[in-house]
Amino acid sequence: MRRRDEDEFTAVTMPRLRRTAYLMCGDWHRAEDAAQDALVSVYRHRLLVVRALAALPPSQRACVVLRHYADLSLAQTARSVSTTPASRSARTCCRQEAPGPGRWHRAGRSC
């Protein structure tokens, strides 16, 4: 996400987050803090996912993105990467979890 996209996402999302937080806590200052904390968490997790994806070989990255971001089935993903669903490479790369902080930390890796 480029800076302009992040700014636009924040501008669009922040009022809704702030209102929801206010409804939960009844205090506008606490709601503002909670909304900001939520956005910081989103950006941190996004950065970890981007780094995790960058660490994968291109073919595995393509499989992970197609399976978990584009939400394609195993067969659709296999067709997209020019292999069959039963092939070893398709089973290996398409079976992976979506990268994220939990997966990488559980596996003993750091981003």
Distance CA(60)–CA(90), nearest Å, equals 9
Confidence (pLDDT) at 106:
40
Average pLDDT over residues 53-62: 88
Query: What beta strand segments (E) does 32-101 contain?
Result: none
Residue 51 pLDDT > 60? yes
Answer yes or no: are the C-beta atoms of 94 and 78 closer than 8 Å. Answer: yes
Confidence (pLDDT) at 43:
92
Q: Which of 29-33, 54-58, 104-108 shows the lowest per-residue confidence on average (mean pLDDT)? A: 104-108
Domains parsed from the chain with CATH numbers: 1-55 (no CATH), 58-111 (1.10.10)
